[in-house]
Amino acid sequence: MTTEVRVPTLGESVTEATVATWFKKPGDSVAVDEMLCELETDKVTVEVPSPVAGTLGDIVASEGDTVGVDALLATISEGASAGAPAADPAPAPAAAEAPAAGGDSVDVMVPTLGESVTEATVSTWFKAVGDSVAQDEMLCELETDKVSVEVPAPAAGVLAEITAPEGTTVDATAKLAVISSSGAAPAASSEPSAAPAASASKADVEDAPAAKKAMAEAGISRDALTGSGRDGRVMKDDVAKAVAAARSAPPPAASAPAPRAPVAANDEAREERVKMTRLRQTIAKRLKDSQNTAAMLTTYNEVDMTEVMALRNEYKDLFLKKHGVKLGFMSFFTKACVHALKEVPEVNAEIDGTDIVYKNFVHMGIAAGTPTGLVVPVIRDADAMSFAAIEKAIAEKGARARDGKLSMAEMQGGTFTISNGGVYGSLMSSPILNPPQSGILGMHKIQDRPMAIGGQVVIRPMMYLALSYDHRIVDGKGAVTFLVRVKEALEDPRRLLMDL
């Protein structure tokens, strides 16, 4: 029986890739999930595993070929692996030695980190070398620039070796540790035998064809590059990064950060220096990039929360009894924003080069503070959700955010964001855009204030609203109109029901 090997899903907006390297040749025996080849896109490198065990038949896409998603790469003949040793007798002794050296050992590899995430930092090891581990027991925690990922044990046994200590930055295909499934650490004698094979493989590393072409075009020496592919193989992306770095490199004097001002000795002894987490570094970079890229402006208004609070107090018990979730203010604000975005669609759009991309849907980002930093989980298709569905989604996403369980997919694709600084007591602020979005609404503390209504001074629960927007795409008229529509919907919630 013949099985086809096809190009896997390459990621959002990626439609083609270049075949960088084949690790097998026709006639070679392959095991299930053994890596067959490596594809190179303009963003990431993708390894293609074997879907079945058997013998590699025809290679349809050779190294250097450009292929689309789901294109045929090769064929595998199942159950025809008997002839493989005869086709390539030289590797047979090494293959025979492998089980003896570490047949009872299981490698712990970096799990899938999420779309567009290529590396992580080992933040914590829960086990030490020599500890017994059960299958699926948590071994360590990895920290990416957005989420934390727990790594479970793939098998029961003894943790024999930790190859990536705490603080180490690892790529998406790196080995983290070794588990001895027989209950004992691997013999030390197995390491010397592995060393010659490793060094021999590095000596024969073949760089990706696309990388060779790029190096020739850019006039870059192979010795000046550090490969990020398998066994140190130079990929096209490595060359592109080197070229970009050479073009944008500032003068040496300017590249060094300004030295920290001198600190008195008695003060320095009482200071504590803590390395920023990858999440905090990413937050800092993205927020600064937002300020540097967008023509950001903020407009303000205030809303009388009397009607919303009265409606909530009247129906909150019945709402909880029927839907099993509390009725909060966020569902009212989400509905009001969806209502306003329909009238002012540019606030829900984004800039892509010289194009404006209008979104005919609303994926609402809800900013949430966590112990490790700010994250923005996305409520997808909020424009089609009921009050109860919105409250349930916000409660579920908020709990996952606090526990550090949000996936990359849950924080991507937002079209507009709501940030509620009022839960921390903020009376007024100017929220920063979450790129590539063009608008973000800032909610604040509800405070009783004297208001002139009908010629009389009355006390009303008031909240300041702030809309930060990208002036490149949203004009002042549109921004003010949006905020007024939100205000009107909250001060008279019946407008939401009648779509006014």
Residue ranges of E strands in 280-367: 296-304, 350-352, 355-357, 364-366
Active-site residue, 267 included: no
DSSP label at 224?
Answer: G
Stated length of the chain: 500
Q: Which residue has the tokens 């008031």?
A: 462
Catalytic residue among 58, 70, 107, 475: 475
For residue 464, the cross-strand partners are 302
Q: Which residue has the tokens 């200590």?
A: 165
> How many whole angstroms separate alpha carbon 486 and alpha carbon 182?
64
DSSP label at 86?
Answer: H
Q: How far is CA 88 from CA 24, 91, 164, 292, in A?
A: 11, 7, 34, 57
> How many whole angstroms separate alpha carbon 410 and alpha carbon 388?
20
Catalytic residue among 289, 403, 471, 492: 471
> How many whole angstroms separate alpha carbon 171 and alpha carbon 254?
30
Q: How far is CA 186 from CA 108, 109, 155, 179, 438, in A?
A: 14, 17, 15, 9, 56
Active-site residue, 363 included: no
Radius of gyration of the CA atoms of the chain, in A: 29
Give the 3-state secondary structure of residue 343.
helix
Taking each helix axis from N to C end, the angle separating 209-218 and 236-248, rounded to the nearest 10 degrees, works out to 20
> Phi and psi dihedrals of 118, rounded to 5?
-110, -10
How many helical (H) and strand (E) elements, i.e. helices and strands, does the chain have? 13, 27
> How many whole angstroms separate alpha carbon 100 and alpha carbon 92?
14
Catalytic residues: 471, 475
